[in-house]
Amino acid sequence: MSDYDPGTPDAYTQHLAEVNEKKEVLASEDIVNANGVLVVAKGTPIKRDIADKILNHKLLKPLEDTVKIEDAITGDSLFNSIKIFVNSNIDLKKIHEKHELNKPLKALCKQYNEYSILTQKLTVLSLRLPEEFEKGLFCSWLSVVLAKQLKLNIEQTESTFLAGLAHDIGMLHIAPEILDKTDEYTAEEWRAMQSHVVIGQRILSNMSGMPQDVSVAVLEHHERCDGTGYPSGKFAKNLTTLGQIVALADALYPIRFKKFVDDGRSLLETVPIMQLNDTVHFYDTYCALALVVRSSDLTPINIVKETEIPSFIDKQLTDASTLILSCKVVVDIDKCLPNDNKHQLVVACNLTDRICASLRRTGLLSAELRRWMEYVRDNKLTACYREMEEISLMQQELSWQISRARRQLQVVLEDKSLHKFLKKKTSLQKFYRQLCLLNEGAIPDGMNSEDIDMIEILSH
Ligand SMILES: [Fe+2]
């Protein structure tokens, strides 16, 4: 998974040289190579030419252990950064105030100050990858919110805060040309990107006094309970609570701060989306999020104008009829997938199981719900319009989950080593083709969504 070697200088060396343009970065001791030969003398600023020199050597110690940044982010300035970030987002501010987070956060920021390598890494992150830094602020803040709601003890709360803050520091060691790439990654580049979790874990586990559960949580922040994550594709029983708290926070960030940024939606609107993911992360963690968000007096945001709701509902009903067909195929796939412990098969089963379970639990796509939507539309029940928007968010999420199941089925069908386990391979191939057609907006022959009640189908 990772070629990372703490003694081999990498992209971090160049980041330090760039930081040195704004804040002085000095060799805090003689930097020597693996053979004990002096490369850079103590007190030398890490300018670009010095960085180039360092990059030619394998070092005796990791570079971060032998440099110091003047004016690195202290506990006080970290606390201020979190406060500024929270105060600039009204939903976060309300949660922060409701849960009286100032005092615990201040204490946690003070603790952070004791890990000098972490203060160095965060300073570099803030200047070189500011979006990752902001995500770290959000994840550390939300991790504390969730830790409080889950009644974790002080040590666990401190660890989840540090893990939230540091979860992506491994990114500082990935080549910038990969980080900045906007086209699709090659398999090799994707492998390099994914290695940030292992790099982060190794850096944190080398930090003096850093609790071990911090590095484990960082390693696990892209793992998912259904085995679809990385680096190990672990399942729920092998994952830690702290890792899944950070994973949930990390997954929420792009929804709240990218997907929702234009329409002003808040954390409140992430709840219906996360409801369809309540088995992807620990269920308790999802419930803690839903409880915190729903009890913090957040103002619901209605995106669709009242006058446009009837046509909005029409569109949702049309989308629902295609989704129903896709879900019916997913149910068929679920029945045909073998119960075998081959990893890719288990992942496929978990993805289809998750969709079926979500449909059962939420009643999404049921005939009853569709009738209710028609009734709201025909009678202009304005009080229910918000619910219609939530249903729309859930339908979008369901659609995304169906694409993931389709891609996983493709992985299974293309892996010839799995074919001997697939007793119903021909049926699975047919269902895969149907899902592809539906994804392109075409209706496969013989399929009709009328009179289909997903709840009825799922009960057989
Ligand atoms: Fe990450």
Same domain, 276 and 323: no
Q: Which structure tokens are listed for 243?
A: 């890792």
User: How far apart are the C-alpha atoms of 235 and 223, rounded to whole Å?
Assistant: 8
Same domain, 260 and 334: no
| 1 domain-assigned | no
Q: What CATH number should be reported for the domain holding residue 244?
A: 1.10.3210.10
Q: Ligand 1 mean position to 436 CA, how many Å?
A: 30
Provide the pLDDT for residue 302. Answer: 81
Same domain, 99 and 31: no
Q: Ligand 1 mean position to 322 CA, how many Å?
A: 34
Same domain, 310 and 253: no
Provide the pLDDT for residue 451. Answer: 67
Q: Ligand 1 mean position to 109 CA, how many Å?
A: 21
| 454 domain-assigned | yes
Taking phi first (over 0 means left), then psi (-120 to 50 degrees means alpha), and beta for anything else, what does residue 60 get? alpha
Q: Ligand 1 mean position to 310 CA, how many Å?
A: 40
Q: Which structure tokens are listed for 22?
A: 């704004």
| 6 domain-assigned | no
Question: Domain end: 294, 314, 347, which one?
Answer: 294
Q: Ligand 1 mean position to 441 CA, how many Å?
A: 33
Closest CA to 224 of 200, 243, 197, 242: 243
Question: How many domains are contained in the chain?
Answer: 3
| 126 domain-assigned | yes
Provide the pLDDT for residue 1. Answer: 53
Q: Ligand 1 mean position to 231 CA, how many Å?
A: 11
Closest CA to 172 of 127, 111, 227, 115: 127
Which burial class, exposed, middle or buried, applies to 416 when counting CB atoms under 10 A from its CB (0-12, 13-18, 19+)?
A: exposed
User: How far apart are the C-alpha atoms of 143 and 312, rounded to whole Å?
Assistant: 36
| 299 domain-assigned | no
Same domain, 128 and 251: yes
Same domain, 271 and 319: no
Q: Ligand 1 mean position to 9 CA, how many Å?
A: 21
Q: Ligand 1 mean position to 369 CA, how many Å?
A: 37
| 245 domain-assigned | yes
Provide the pLDDT for residue 361. Answer: 86
Q: Ligand 1 mean position to 223 CA, how many Å?
A: 10
Q: Ligand 1 mean position to 167 CA, how many Å?
A: 6
Q: Ligand 1 mean position to 185 CA, how many Å?
A: 16
Same domain, 41 and 102: no
Residues of the chain with pLDDT below 70 are: 1-2, 449-451, 460
Amino acid at 40: V
Amino acid at 175: A
Provide the pLDDT for residue 405. Answer: 94
Provide the pLDDT for residue 240. Answer: 98
Question: Domain end: 248, 267, 294, which one?
Answer: 294
Domain that holds residue 237: 75-294
Question: Domain end: 244, 267, 294, which one?
Answer: 294
Same domain, 231 and 86: yes
Q: Ligand 1 mean position to 161 CA, how many Å?
A: 15
- Torsion angle defined by CA atoms of residues 46, 51, 56 and 61, in that order, rounded to the nearest 10 degrees: 50
Same domain, 37 and 101: no
| Other residues' Cβ atoms within 10 Å of the Cβ of residue 176 | 14
Same domain, 192 and 279: yes
Provide the pLDDT for residue 2. Answer: 63
| 300 domain-assigned | no
| 36 domain-assigned | yes
Same domain, 413 and 434: yes
Same domain, 89 and 137: yes
